Every structure is written in C-alpha cells, then in structure tokens.
Amino acid sequence: MFRDVKQVSPTELSCWLADSAKEPPVLLDARELAEFSMSHIAAAKWIDPRATDAELSALPLGGKSVVVYCAVGYRSAKIVRRLQSMGQGNLFNLEGAIFAWASERLPMENSAGVTSRVHPYNRFGRWLLPSHCRD
C-alpha cells in the first residue's frame, strides 16, 4: 500500500540513534496524544495525526532526516507521504511502528521516566502487543 514510503527497521533506527558520528533524525510520533503520553521514543515530538498541511509545513525539520511512527505504521506512512508531497526529503516510516519497537524491547519513555507500556490504540491492538507492553 505504501511502496513509495521508505522504511527503517527498529534495529536500524536504534543503531542510528546510538551512533554519535551520525546526525540523529527528527522523530515524529503521529499517534493520538493519549498514546504518546503513555510512551514514546526519547526525543520524539508529538504531531497530531490529523495535522493540516499548514501545520506540517510549519514543522522545524530543517532539511534533516525524519522518521515518523505511529502504532502499527499506517498513520505515520500517510504523514510521510504528505510530507513528501510538500517537497520534504529524507523521510522514513518506522517499520512496524512503536509496536515493533516495543516488541524488540527498545527504550521508551513518558513523563515519569522509562516505561515498557504501549497504548494499544484499540481493543484489537492489545493482542498485537507482547505481554510485557500491555497494561
């Protein structure tokens, strides 16, 4: 469905973020605010998944690489596609999104600190998450 959207795996992104020789990407979390509040990748910025083109255009991306993620990858791929249509380059969708990131036990945080919990998005999403990520 999103063959025109470049993907980066959770492992690749984790290595990229850990490599001090590389400029880190801008991380955009395109989930609902309640999902973001429960957990997100460190340094991620929340964007409304229903952001207008004007709001997306106003993001301070500065020509940097950008990785967008959501719960499973659909909403974020749509945001990547919209940013592409606005001329933004170096865009990636996190393959498998935060569900895959959490499944690989990669670090997440919230306002209270480190967490392993992920918002399930809906009642079906709960079954896509490993037990260590569920409420």
Helices within the chain (DSSP H only): 10-18, 33-38, 53-57, 74-85, 97-103
Averaged confidence pLDDT in the chain: 91
Classify domain 7-133 at the CATH topology level. Oxidized Rhodanese; domain 1 (3.40.250)
Whether 113 and 96 have beta carbons less than 8 Å apart is answered as: no
* Residue 135 to residue 123: CA distance in whole angstroms: 12
- Residues 106-115: what's their mean pLDDT? 96
pLDDT in tens, 44-54: 999 999 999 99
Domain coordinates in residue numbering, the chain: 7-133
Whether 45 and 51 have beta carbons less than 8 Å apart is answered as: no
pLDDT of residue 2: 78
pLDDT of residue 135: 61
Q: Is residue 86's pLDDT more than 70?
A: yes
pTM above 0.85? yes
Q: Rounded to an integer, what is the distance from CA 9 to the centroid of its chain? A: 11
